[in-house]
Amino acid sequence: MELPPEVREKIAAGEVIERPLSVVKELLENSLDAGAKRVSVALSQGGKTSITVEDDGSGIPFEDLPLALTRHATSKIRSVDDLYGIRSLGFRGEALASICAVSRLEIRSRRMDQELGGLIIAEGGEIVLHERVPHPVGTVVKVEELFFNLPARRKFLKSPSAEVRRISQLLQEMSLVNFHRRIQLSSDGRRVFESPGFESPRDAARHLWGCDPKEGFMDHQGLSCHLLWSGSGEGRGNLCFFVNGRRIHDPSLRAAIQGASGTLGGDWVVFLVVPPEEVDVNVHPTKSEVRFKRPRDVFSLVHRGALSVIGGGLGLDGPPGQPIPPARDRRDEPPQVKSPSVEDRMPRLDGPSFGGPQDPAKRLVVGSPLAEMVSQVRYVGEAGRGYLIYEFPRGVIFLDPHAAEERITYEKIVRGSQGGTQVLAFPVEIPEGLAMSLEGLWGPLEDLGFRFDREGSGAMRMVGIPQHLSSFDVSPMEWLRWCSSGGDQEEGSGRQVKLLERMASRACRRSMKLGDSLDRDGARRLFEELLRCSVPQACPHGRSTFFVLPWEDIESRLGR
């Protein structure tokens, strides 16, 4: 049978409107297409209760308001040929109709050439009021009770704070490409994000990231690419691609950046300008994917642009072509460790044996815990490849200093989480982007010893860090960036555990590398500190820190 119209409308709306983020994205794009210089977004309960988007754009004529809520009604294209030269963010005429089908919707708008504005109210796709009202030039769209008529969809929405984070991330990204516009976000009356308008994308990125970004440009046969990078390879970064002002997701372009940098660390934003006739934006219901006419050239352009930003690639006039991403050095990359945990699998010091967990044949039976034998250990020297060699009455110990210091660093951070707060001599202002990624983590961070203060303007400052972190050669802002990429999906004490693990794991990367020189006292202290760890036999990623070669094995091999 043929589905009833109301069912068809809700199915179609579900393809476009998935959550409050979808509503904000569609309304924001409409505001930008209308030439707005200022866009304000206000949320209640993460957008579940209400979403209000206000702009100072060109507005909607009174007589067109009912048409704006009709599916496939748009003023942005008129023929099939227009689909192959899209210059606007919206073009399908589905956004307002889809939002209207699953909410209670109110639009107030006025054009410059009209004395009065117009008001239209609709509920579940049905118009209930359309009349003239006073209104300033521009448009206000208010969406209330999203999915009130689709309770199953409403049930799958995330918590209000999670929805706010998603929306804030979108507005932050869009503020980079719309750097000259003022974009604001508030949630339940509290300002969450504001981009006041800047002279350049670089200035917008500096405001958002809290650092001076590295910049690169690349052009080739009508294609152009502008890249910005925060310059930090530490912590989880964000990667944004814009094609002709449209935010897209493209795995191949992501691979182009990763192939050039060997990592996706730090924040990246890539602005691509492609002739409209060479990009198809009509390949995905939410317009988040595009298809390029010359994908290899686009890939090469982004790849070479990233190389130029990093400083290790071709010049700006290098020839295009399909580059081969450089091989990655994986020696310091931790293998993926799955349950049971490393600690569960390691032999204990008070057990009958010890040694490398990956070398069970070389375990040495001892009559007392290894920690009691530290006074009998003598440092012999350093092997050519950087491994440290020790001897003691029962054999020879070969130690990996990098893995050993990783274990020591990890346990210092995890064990020292209750050591109080070190007040910073100078408070550090937290960038807008980082502050939003930490939303929901302020409480757990303060439980760990971080201290924050909100200025009168609403900007967040860090005024203290956990006492035990002050001994590491890591800036306070770096600690926060590492924290921002872990722990937000847990509840209660689980968040603290995740944050500690994240900080410890990232700090491990600052450990000495294989081949770094140590004097005799340093080599002995390293071994002693390792033996005081709860799991000295392995680094946090599961690699052996040392193994023991018993004298019996050595003498047997030598025929003694």
pLDDT > 90? residue 332: no
Is residue 243 within 8 Å of 272, Cβ to Cβ? yes
Strands (E), 18-89: 38-44, 50-55
For domain 5-195, which architecture applies?
2-Layer Sandwich (3.30)
Rounded distance, CA 424 to CA 37, Å?
A: 39
- Selected from 3.30.230.10, 3.50.50.60, 3.30.930.10, 2.130.10.30, the CATH number assigned to the domain covering 201-310 reads 3.30.230.10
The length of the chain in residues reads 560
CB atoms within 10 A of CB 326: 13
Contact 209, 433 (CB under 8 A): yes
CATH architecture, domain defined by 342-400+514-557: 2-Layer Sandwich (3.30)
- 474-529 pLDDT, tens per residue? 788 888 877 776 444 444 456 667 777 777 766 666 666 666 777 888 888 899 88
Instruction: Please give the pLDDT value at position 314.
Output: 35
Task: Identify the CATH number of the domain defined by range 412-508.
Answer: 3.30.1370.100
181 CB burial (10 A radius; 0-12, 13-18, 19+): buried
Task: Locate 425 and state its tokens.
Answer: 């001599």
Assess contact for 395 and 359: CB atoms under 8 A: no
Cα–Cα distance measured from residue 302 to residue 288, given in angstroms and rounded to the nearest whole number: 18
Distance between CA atoms of 224 and 529, rounded to whole angstroms? Answer: 54
Whether the CB-CB separation of 167 and 20 falls below 8 Å is answered with: yes
Name residue 80's amino acid. V
In this predicted structure, the answer to whether residue 263 has a pLDDT above a threshold of 60 is yes
Quick one: average pLDDT of 442-462? 79
Q: Which of 201-210, 323-332, 378-387, 533-542 has the lowest mean pLDDT?
A: 323-332
Find out whether 301 and 350 touch, Cβ atoms under 8 Å: no
pLDDT of residue 394: 84
Mean pLDDT of all residues belonging to the chain: 79
Q: Where are the domains of the chain?
A: 5-195, 201-310, 342-400+514-557, 412-508
Q: Which pLDDT does position 2 carry in this prediction?
A: 58
Q: For position 13, what pLDDT does the model report?
A: 56
Contact 215, 202 (CB under 8 A): yes
**pLDDT digits over 298-325, tens only?**
999 999 999 989 873 333 333 333 332 3
| Token pair listed for 481 | 């960036």
Q: Can you give the pTM of this predicted structure? A: 0.66
Q: What is the DSSP string of 223-272?
A: EEEEEEE----SS---EEEEETTEEE--HHHHHHHHHHHSS--S-EEEEE
